[in-house]
Amino acid sequence: MPVSVLYNHTHRLLVALDCIVFGYDEEAGLQILLVKRHLHPEKGSWALMGGLLNKDENLDQAAQRILYHLTGMTNVYLEELKVFSCQHRDPVERTISVTYTALVDIHNYQHQLTEEFEARWFPAAELPDLIFDHNEMVRYAKHHLKQKAALQPIGFELLPDKFTFTQLRKLYDAIYETQLDKGNFRRMMLATGLLVQLKEKDKTGSKKGAYFYQLNTQKYQDRLSTFFS
């Protein structure tokens, strides 16, 4: 049988991309960016950043395009996560979804959010009900983030360029939804060799102040796979 005939007898599927965008705020904790759905069914409900794959692009290109179109964000950490392929996940047409996770410094991108899609940050632990299987996607992404943060220093993607140890520890507290031991966490982080202490101090909390740190970007790239191992 000719190959063309085989292709003609296959069912056509749509490929969607859905992005779980994580941000972090020291006061509000770990956040996820959602948009209002502007199509039926479930018009007006909250959803993850999403769109369809175009025939002239690969998955990574599509994820970057969708993220920029819906939020105005560029040059952010993006990672492909998992394929969701339940036959009935989309009530309109058979659609498989490839999920991506994005990690951003929330304060760098707050002003870039486009009003057209009503993009809004929500606490990761208190999300509204989402469309289709998006709640399941979020659960998987949160679990993956915890695993990833234990192996690679990706948590720094959520922080500003300079930060205190308290800010760093609170971030990891938020990721793991617990309170880490301050002394052990400090020793462990310093042992990685990834932090550079600056002369500048943050004196917003006390007169003595706390030193700011920066990430050693070269070691960050060199040690992506050996962080906490």
Number of domains in the chain: 2
Do residues 147 and 163 share a domain? no
Residues 176, 117 within the same domain: no
- CA separation for the pair 227, 229 (Å, rounded): 6
Rounded to two decimals, what is the model's pTM?
Answer: 0.87
Alpha-helix runs per DSSP H in 34-83: 59-71
What is the rounded CA–CA span in Å between residue 125 and residue 134? 14
Q: Which of helix, strand or coil describes residue 9?
A: coil
Statement: residue 18 has pLDDT above 50: yes
Arithmetic mean of pLDDT, 49-75? 91
Its domain, for residue 143, covers 3-151
The string of pLDDT tens digits covering residues 94-133 is 999 999 999 988 887 766 666 667 889 999 999 999 999 9
Phi, psi at 124, each rounded to 5°: -60, -25
Tokens of 80: 């492909």
Is position 140 within any domain? yes
Final residue before a domain boundary, out of 151, 170, 199: 151
